[in-house]
Amino acid sequence: MRNKALWQDPMYLETSALVLAFIFLICIFLFSFRNKNKHTLAAWASLKSWLFVGPLLLIAFGIKWPAPLICLCLVGIYASKKFFQMIGMYHRSWFVVTCYLFIGFLGWAIHTGSETLFNISPMIFLGTISLIPLLRNSSKHMVQYMALSLMAFIFFGWSFMHLGRIFEFEKGPFIVLYIYILSEISENTCLGVSRFFGKNKLFQNVTSRFSLEGILAATVMSLLFAWAIRHLLPVRTEPYWIMSGLVVTFAGQLGALLLSTIRRDLGIKATGVFIIGRGDIIDRMDKLIFVGPVFYYLYIFMERIMNA
């Protein structure tokens, strides 16, 4: 699908119209309850922001290749910047710039089809940042800086950029759109149910956003929508959409929990507003850092089994 923009595909136009119509209808429904309490007000702010971010995402997905890949690289670089600011390491420019360059390198590897380079990039990155203490002739806090830099690259570079590799699949852009929609539905269902009905908090020392009731409801909703919009997948049979719903729910929640753990350890709630009502960029990406690679490798595994 590299040879044309998705806006030329009737199915993409139809899907975009349905997504925007769904957001608009939910906004109309929630409008009357927006001031009921702080939770409904937060839900309204989050949902309202989709009237802004939804069209932008659909435009970004619809641009001709490699523009979507460039967008993914820029998002990854921006998220890593915010991560470095969050952990108090942004002034360590050698590590920060190296991380930026390697995220760009991942984009180049995807664009040129260099699968081996992409796969070994974490080791190349680790080897490169291991030279920084020697070049700077300094050992103070260097182990900490190296570990945190590797964490930033793995999360917002190597893991996140698997979405770019999914673009290479048959109907790849539709698959990326599919798992992103499911991720948002899963996250917001879990958050909403946990706020209003969550009695069994699973990770209270990390975050109050997750409950047993929320995760169960998110699983059901993810599977329901995975079935409802399965036309976005190249293969619409049960194993594919069930796998998608489960991966988005559990890998997505794991990513959100991991970043919540880091935030709680640092005593930081947010690094600044990315989109009004949507929190910061890390808050928007945390669910994707594991969804991307887990979905990518499971999809390949299923393709081999089905075609054996």
Q: Rounded CA gap, 8 and 117, in Å?
A: 32
Condensed to tens digits (0 to 9), the pLDDT of residues 139-188 reads: 888 999 999 999 999 999 999 999 999 988 888 888 998 998 899 889 88
Mean pLDDT of 72-85: 93
Q: Rounded CA gap, 142 and 149, in Å?
A: 10
Q: Rounded CA gap, 77 and 135, in Å?
A: 24
Tokens of 31: 């409008």
Is 141:53 a contact under the CB 8 Å cutoff? no
Mean pLDDT of 190-213: 81
Cα 234 from chain centroid (whole Å)? 21
Delimit the domains of the chain by residue range: 1-64, 67-164, 172-308
Is 287:253 a contact under the CB 8 Å cutoff? yes
Amino acid at 86: M
Mean pLDDT for the chain? 85
Mean pLDDT of 241-267: 88
Evaluate the omega torsion of the peptide bond into residue 10 and state whether it is cis, within 30 degrees of 0. no
Contacts with 60 (C-beta within 8 Å, 6 or more apart), sequence order: 67, 68, 71
Condensed to tens digits (0 to 9), the pLDDT of residues 31-63 reads: 776 666 666 666 666 666 667 777 777 887 778
Q: Rounded CA gap, 107 and 74, in Å?
A: 10
pLDDT at 279 over 60: no
Query: pTM to 2 decimals?
Result: 0.87
Q: Rounded CA gap, 179 and 182, in Å?
A: 5
